[in-house]
């Protein structure tokens, strides 16, 4: 019987899948597979930015700053996460992008887990 428990390290495990630890993109049957939620732990180097804006968003997202200085761009608004624990939440139909002003560790939670938001070949979700 397969054990339904996984123990890991977010920093080490995030390297394998562009930071994503949970979501629809993990192997079916694995405890890390979910169509309900996605969780990402990512260390963004200074100057890292999303290659293009997400448009037509169908998910809700929560970004929490662990360390660094991270800017989230929303229509008509720029949100700066600069103190540990600063966070932003946005809902469906809110376009967005982001930029790492300093090396930043960001925890992202999105729901539900929906395919189709990856930037082709360059950049990250």
Tens digit of each residue's pLDDT (9 = 90 or more) over 4-61 = 899 999 989 888 888 899 999 899 999 999 999 999 999 999 999 999 999 989 999 9
Cβ contacts of 13-21, under 8 Å, gap ≥ 24: 13/41, 14/40, 14/41, 14/42, 14/43, 18/42, 18/124, 18/125, 19/108, 19/124, 20/125
pLDDT of res. 117: 67
- Round to whole Å and give the CA distance between 24 and 80: 29
Domains along the sequence of the chain with CATH: 10-111 (2.60.120.10)
| pTM of this prediction exceeds 0.85 | yes
pLDDT of 2 reads: 62
**What is the tens place of the pLDDT at every residue in 92-116?**
999 999 999 999 999 999 999 988 7
Whether 71 has a pLDDT exceeding 70, the answer reads yes
């Amino acid at each position: 019987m397969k054990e339904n428990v996984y123990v890991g390290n977010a920093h080490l495990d995030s390297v394998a899948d562009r930071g994503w630890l949970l979501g629809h993109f993990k192997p079916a049957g694995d405890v890390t597979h979910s169509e309900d939620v996605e969780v990402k732990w990512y260390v963004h180097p200074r100057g890292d930015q999303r290659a293009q804006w997400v448009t037509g968003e169908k998910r809700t997202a929560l970004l929490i700053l662990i360390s660094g200085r991270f800017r989230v761009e929303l229509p008509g608004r720029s949100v700066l996460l600069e103190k540990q624990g600063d966070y932003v939440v946005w809902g469906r139909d809110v376009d967005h992008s982001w930029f790492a002003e300093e090396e930043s560790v960001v925890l992202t939670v999105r729901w539900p887990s929906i395919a189709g938001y990856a930037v082709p070949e360059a950049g990250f979700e």
